[in-house]
Amino acid sequence: MISKKIKKLLICLLLVSTATTTGFMTKTKTPHTVYHIYLKGKSLGIIKSKKELENYIDKKQQEIKKKYDVDKVYLPSELDIVKEVTYDNNIIPVKEIYEKIKDISPFTISGYTITIKGIDSKNADGKKIKGKNQTLYILDKNIFDEAIDSTVKSFISKDDYEAYAKNKQKEIKDTGKIIENIYIQNKITIKKQNIPVDKTIYQEKEDLSKYLLFGTTEQQSKYTVQDGDTISDVAFNNKISTEEFLIANPSIPDENSLLYSGQQVTLGILKPQFNVVSEEQVVFKEEKNYQTETRYDNNKEVGHTETIQAGVKGENKVTQKIQKVNGETKNVVTVTTEVLKEPVTEIIVKGGKQSSYAGKGGYGTAVATKGEWGWPASCASLSSPFGYRWGTLHDGTDIAGCGYGSNIFAAQSGTVVESRKKPGSYAGGYGDNGEYIVIDHHNGYFTLYAHMCPGCRYVKVGDNVAKGQVIGGMGRTGAATGVHLHFGMWRGYPYRGGRAQNAMGFY
């Protein structure tokens, strides 16, 4: 038999064993503070010290420190650490937690998150297109400021920008230009926070500037200049504008600069990540072409022509407000037009009999031309030329500054083949043109007149029109940010196999 002393000893040993097992394997007698680790909402366990985990991660991630030249590496942003008071003593070593998270969730470093708010726009049908927000990451706020400055200077000349910034612009005494305002249209916010290292983090101003301008940091395509190449030829053949060419090649001063055979140039298509807006006041003098009055003398043989009064050009002084977005003219408003010298009408006497046509509607008279083609508007200010921009062909010439509802004239006699408010089955490029008219001139050429004001199409399909006849009024229907005429010259039917021409080559 077991003695009473031995029984008592066995019971004591059993109680100690039970207490030991319960205390260290499951519960403690008193509550204590721990840190519960969650990754993407999933529990990874508890640790004794948050600081210990932070220090362990910082110590292990020397490669990240070296890559980004930082002093400290932080916890993943997807990691949540909840402080708890518990009896649970099932502590997990920080090394084990580290191994669980290192290949699942990226660690972070201190930097800045930049949000560039997108600009809402409208399509040809007037429906809202939501602007797309951009998020960028940087370590040094200064490189963002420098990249912004560099991008703005891509669209505004360095001298003009510095004169504006330092308030040293020359006052307009006769003619000239002053910049009234420069601003970024997008709302930009900068927030200091920890950045996951799997994001694209810009460390150099040059890389960020390239992205803000071209939408990528990849190397832009190159072109080797051939004999006879001009800047305008190289730009057009590669579907960019001369302005884009000069921005991508800042060492080339202007579009009239000479290129040499074998020269390497950059052919970057711009995709700005924000809108740089400049508002300018421009004062200039323009020639006012004289009108030609033709008189007919039935006593003279047909073919007889005699000038009895020579025409003399007049001169106007024009003040305009011009808004540009990323270097592209978006809106032109003529503030004043001062007549400095009235033109003298040229008077020609011809033999034979011929009737004349008087226009109707709107206001303003056509700008006189000496060639076969008549000018389609009552002013001659060009807001956007024919050519490529941002990889897309602008297939007409934009004329602005004449005023809302001002007269639009047929550039040559012909037959109206389209007079529409909305695009038809052959929409093609019509979708952005709002109310427009197309005229067939029966010589292989067609002209297109777009963005007319609502109800301002004065001719219908089948009408025969004369050169200089008023056919509509200037407006901003379709994808137009300001009042202007989109004047298209086409060899063949527009968007039905025809080829767009540069209308300025006909004047």
Residue 127: how many CB atoms within 10 A of its CB?
8
The highest-level CATH class for domain 362-507 is: mainly beta
**Rounded mean pLDDT of 283-308?**
80
Q: Which two tokens stand for residue 430?
A: 């019509």
Confidence of residue 397 (pLDDT cuts 50, 70, 90): very high
Pick from 333, 334, 458, 453: which is nearest to 405 by CA? 453
| H helix or E strand, kind and range, residue 55 | helix 50-60
Q: Is residue 86 classed as helix, strand or coil in its secondary structure?
A: strand
More confident residue, 42 or 358: 42
- Ranges of each domain in the chain: 25-105, 121-174+184-266, 278-356, 362-507
Nearest of 274, 280, 232, 279 to residue 256 by alpha carbon = 232
Write down the H helix ranges in 124-180: 141-155, 158-165
> Comparing C-alpha atoms, which of 375, 328, 342, 315 is closest to residue 507?
375
Confidence check: pLDDT of 490 > 70 = yes
The pTM for the full model equals 0.69
Is it true that 278-356 and 362-507 share their CATH fold? Answer: no
Average pLDDT over residues 147-174: 91
Q: Does the domain spanning 121-174+184-266 belong to CATH 3.40.190.290?
A: no
Q: Look at residue 367 and tell me whether its pLDDT is greater than 80.
A: no
Is residue 492 classed exposed, middle or buried when 0-12, 13-18 and 19+ CB atoms within 10 A define those classes?
A: middle
**What pLDDT sits at residue 14?**
43
Residue 460 has pLDDT above 50, yes or no: yes
b/e code 231-259 from CB counts within 10 Å (16+ = b): beebbbebbbbbbbbbbbbeebeeeeeeb
Question: 296 and 347 in contact (C-beta within 8 Å)?
Answer: no
Q: Which two tokens stand for residue 461?
A: 């399909």
What is the pLDDT, as a whole number, of residue 3? 53
Average confidence score pLDDT of the chain: 86
pLDDT in tens, 182-210: 999 999 999 999 999 999 999 999 999 99
For 230-267, the pLDDT digits (tens) are 998 899 998 888 888 988 888 898 888 999 999 999 99
User: Which architecture, in CATH terms, is 278-356?
Assistant: Single Sheet (2.20)
Residue 89: CB atoms within 10 Å: 15
Highest averaged pLDDT of the listed ranges 118-132, 160-174, 354-368: 160-174
Cβ count near 16 (within 10 Å): 10
pLDDT confidence band for 455 (50 / 70 / 90) = confident
Residue range 290-295: mean pLDDT, rounded: 81
What is the model's pLDDT at position 359?
37
Collapsed DSSP state (helix, strand, coil) of residue 40: coil
DSSP 323: E
CA atoms of 315 and 355, how far apart (whole Å): 30
Cα gap 377→202, rounded to integer Å: 49
Mean pLDDT of 361-367: 63
Using the predicted structure, report yes or no on whether residue 2 has a pLDDT greater than 50.
Answer: no
User: Cα(278)–Cα(331) distance, rounded to whole angstroms?
Assistant: 11
pLDDT of residue 430: 54
pLDDT of residue 366: 65
Q: Tens digits of per-residue pLDDT, 25-77?
A: 445 568 889 999 999 999 999 999 999 999 999 999 999 999 999 999 999 99
Q: Strand, coil or helix: what is 100?
A: helix
Q: What per-residue confidence (pLDDT) applies to 471?
A: 95
Query: Is a pLDDT exceeding 50 seen at residue 305?
Result: yes
pLDDT greater than 60 at residue 295: yes
| pLDDT exceeds cutoff 60 at 164 | yes
Cα first-last separation, the chain: 129
User: Residue 321, class by beta-carbon neighbours within 10 Å (0-12 exposed, 13-18 middle, 19+ buried)?
Assistant: middle
Separation of alpha carbons 193 and 476, rounded Å: 45
User: Which distant-in-sequence residues (6+ apart) come within 8 Å of 432 by Cβ?
Assistant: 124, 478, 479
